[in-house]
């Protein structure tokens, strides 16, 4: 082949190689231009060597350039504000120095003064000798995402604040409503017991029952709020199941007696004496189911049955069932039983009072305990509601020291145990009681109830007078309202405990009356209060508490 032919072949090969390089270069440029984000690369001095099409569009949109030719060859200091350029240059130098990829959140200030949040990922770039020749970056505008995050955070904070305000409002409303309710129910009971005329007794009884119905509806509202806001935490404790059931039945028995309904208890003989569970949640489930059964049963009986399904060395599976001979549930209503505010209408003329929340509340608690409530019902024949629980059993000797079961008194909530060994007086001495209540109706009712029991009393309507009396006279028991003018019952209790400790005086028993919801009761634990009595005040509860001490 002649020299000329060889040259022509070489030229053709070079042209073909150049064409191929141009094709690849166009392909790479097209690829880089259309990658998500602003792609750019700079040399070690910080001069821009190139930028993709999207990057140029962003710089134009932000007002830093008017056309793409204004970028290449310039540094950050020629394009951006010095403070911003310093930030970019510092990040670039770190990438080249560390020789690793870095992710940064960078702030850019537009010529208009608007602040922009950018997320940049930067990598070092090398020449053919493996030497650092600059940095390549990919930046995206995250300002909208940042704003959404701030909006969500703000909305979350507002929602939490609103929820706190709702909780505080309900707690305050609880006290404000229970206090007059306590006066109505207490005085109605007092009138029923003291007046002689049968008609007048009947009027007082109707007033008392109406107050109790209003209280029950109010408690339903608070229970629903409690169930909606409750945390998924289980408070396990060891307790005597039979005693707890007996206490529960004792609580609902008066309502059953008013309707001449029998309450039956059927507990499997193989049942372990002690189990481990959340006694409070189990108690609430059964209380709601029993209450519903009594409400919808006009005659016959209501039965609580506990059946042992499985028994192992450390675990048991129990079925709790509530049977009734009540009105039953129509088949077309079965799907709505657990819906909130669904209340049974038996006919066009009969409607059972209530908000239709009891079963939903019970179902929420059952789910927390890992179960679900099921039912079988036939209209005009009765219903059975049941749920299964897998529980741990506890082998405890009969006389061992265990936690006492929940009190049978519905409105009593124990904060710390009463210990007669700490009583100031001998048991044979008549108790001296100090009553502290600013509501004159409640104070009058308490005075009459306590006097009827034969105890000596002093009465004041504020915390300051109460504290002065405690320092000057000996009392065995103080019964105080939580909310008092100028100083609360909690503050009064704290002052008394400090004074007792400083003067080496034995502690007086302090009972506090409150209308606040159950969630608020935990705040009283450290104040020195021995027991909380939830309003409305029942004279039988007062009698029971005082008898426990005397």
Tens digit of each residue's pLDDT (9 = 90 or more) over 232-290: 567 788 889 998 898 888 878 878 888 899 999 999 999 898 999 988 789 889 988 99
Whole-angstrom CA distances from 171 to 166, 174, 184 are: 8, 5, 20
**What is the pLDDT, as a whole number, of residue 360?**
79
Q: What is the pLDDT of residue 386?
A: 96
CA distance 260 to 301: 9
pLDDT of 463 above 80: yes
pLDDT at 223 (0 to 100) = 63
Q: How confident is the model at residue 349 (pLDDT cuts 50, 70, 90)?
A: very low
Mean pLDDT score, 90-97:
95
3-state DSSP assignment of residue 126: strand
User: How far, in Å, CA of 254 to CA of 264, rounded?
Assistant: 14
Given a contact cutoff of 8 angstroms between Cβ atoms, the answer to whether 420 and 404 are in contact is no
pLDDT confidence of residue 542? 77
Q: What is the pLDDT of residue 401?
A: 38
Beta strand 274-277 with 382-394 is antiparallel
Question: What 3-state class would DSSP assign to 75?
Answer: strand
Close Cβ partners of 275 (under 8 Å, ≥ 6 residues apart)? 238, 239, 241, 316, 318, 391, 392, 393, 394
Q: How many whole angstroms separate alpha carbon 372 and alpha carbon 387? A: 6
Residue 451, pLDDT > 90, answer no
Q: Mean pLDDT throughout 41-69? A: 91
Mean confidence (pLDDT) of the chain: 81
Of 169, 207, 202, 166, the residue nearest 187 (C-alpha): 207
| Residue 168: burial class (beta carbons within 10 Å; 0-12, 13-18, 19+) | exposed
Fold classified for 10-141: Beta-Lactamase (3.30.450)
CATH 3.40.50.2300 in the chain, residue ranges: 413-549
- Which is higher by pLDDT, 176 or 252? 252
Q: What is the mean pLDDT of residues 158-171?
A: 79
Secondary-structure class of domain 413-549 per CATH: alpha beta
Percent over 70 (pLDDT), the chain: 83
Beta bridge partners of 264: 303
CATH topology for 235-407?
A: Heat Shock Protein 90 (3.30.565)
Yes or no: say if 491 and 466 are a contact pair by the CB < 8 Å rule: no
Q: Return the exposure string of 105-128: e unless at least 16 CB atoms fall within 10 Å of the residue's CB, then b.
A: ebebeeeeeeebbbbbebbbbeee
Residue 357 is predicted with a pLDDT of 63
pLDDT for position 6 = 80
Nearest residue to 295 via CA among 270, 258, 265, 267: 258
Query: Which of 141-145, 424-428, 502-506 has the lowest average pLDDT?
Result: 424-428
Q: List, by residue range, all CATH 3.30.565.10 domains of the chain.
A: 235-407
Query: Minimum mean pLDDT among 273-282, 384-393, 541-550: which range?
Result: 541-550
Coil, helix or strand for 360?
helix
Q: What is the pLDDT of residue 403?
A: 37
- The per-residue pLDDT for 347 is 41
Q: Is the pLDDT of residue 398 over 50?
A: no
| pLDDT band of 350, cuts 50, 70, 90 | very low
Strand residue runs (E) in 409-476: 412-414, 432-436, 456-460
């Amino acid at each position: 082949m002649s020299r000329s032919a060889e040259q022509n072949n070489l030229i053709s090969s070079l042209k073909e190689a150049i064409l191929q390089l141009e094709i690849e270069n166009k392909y790479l440029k097209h690829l880089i231009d259309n990658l998500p984000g602003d792609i750019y690369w700079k040399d070690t001095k910080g001069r821009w060597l190139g930028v993709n099409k999207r990057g140029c569009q962003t710089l134009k949109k932000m007002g830093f350039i008017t056309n793409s030719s204004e970028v290449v060859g310039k540094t950050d200091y020629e394009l951006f504000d010095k403070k911003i350029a310093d930030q970019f240059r510092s990040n670039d130098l770190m990438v080249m120095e560390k020789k690793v990829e870095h992710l940064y959140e960078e702030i850019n200030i537009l010529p208009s003064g608007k602040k922009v949040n950018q997320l940049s990922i930067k990598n070092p770039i090398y020449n053919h000798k493996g030497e650092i020749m600059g940095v390549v970056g990919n930046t995206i505008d995250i300002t909208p995402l940042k704003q959404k995050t701030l909006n969500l955070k703000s909305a979350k904070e507002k929602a939490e604040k609103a929820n706190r305000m709702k909780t505080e409002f309900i707690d305050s409303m609880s006290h404000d409503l229970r206090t007059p309710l306590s006066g109505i129910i207490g005085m109605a009971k007092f009138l029923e017991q003291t007046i002689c005329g049968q008609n007048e007794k009947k009027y007082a009884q109707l007033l008392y029952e109406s107050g109790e119905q209003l209280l029950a509806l109010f408690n339903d509202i608070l229970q629903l709020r409690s169930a909606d806001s409750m945390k998924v935490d289980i408070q396990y404790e060891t307790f005597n199941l039979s005693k707890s059931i007996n206490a529960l039945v004792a609580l609902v028995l008066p309502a059953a007696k008013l309707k001449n309904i029998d309450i039956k208890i059927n507990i499997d003989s193989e049942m372990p004496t002690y189990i481990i569970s959340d006694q409070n949640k189990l108690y609430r489930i059964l209380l709601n189911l029993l209450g519903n059964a009594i409400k919808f049963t006009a005659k016959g009986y209501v039965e609580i049955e506990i059946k042992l399904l499985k028994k192992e060395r450390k675990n048991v599976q129990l079925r709790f069932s509530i049977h009734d001979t009540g009105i039953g549930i129509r088949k077309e209503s079965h799907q709505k039983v657990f819906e909130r505010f669904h209340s049974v209408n038996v006919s066009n003329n009969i409607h059972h009072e209530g908000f239709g929340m009891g079963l939903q509340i019970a179902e929420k608690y059952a789910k927390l305990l890992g179960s679900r409530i099921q039912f079988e019902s036939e209209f005009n024949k009765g219903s059975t509601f049941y749920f299964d629980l897998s529980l741990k059993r506890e082998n405890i000797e009969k006389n061992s020291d265990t936690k006492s079961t929940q009190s049978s008194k519905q409105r009593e909530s124990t904060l710390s145990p009463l210990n007669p060994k700490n009583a100031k007086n001998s048991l044979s001495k008549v108790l001296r009681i100090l009553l502290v209540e600013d509501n004159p109706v409640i104070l009058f009712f308490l005075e009459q109830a306590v006097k009827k029991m034969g105890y000596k009393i002093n009465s004041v309507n504020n915390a300051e007078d109460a504290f002065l009396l405690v320092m000057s006279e000996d009392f065995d028991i103080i019964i105080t309202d939580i909310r008092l003018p100028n100083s609360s019952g909690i503050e009064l209790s704290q002052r008394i405990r400090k004074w007792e400790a400083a003067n080496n005086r034995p502690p007086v028993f302090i009972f506090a009356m409150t209308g606040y919801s159950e969630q608020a009761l935990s705040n009283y634990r450290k104040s020195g209060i021995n027991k909380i009595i939830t309003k409305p005040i029942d004279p039988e509860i007062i009698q029971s508490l005082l008898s426990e001490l005397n």
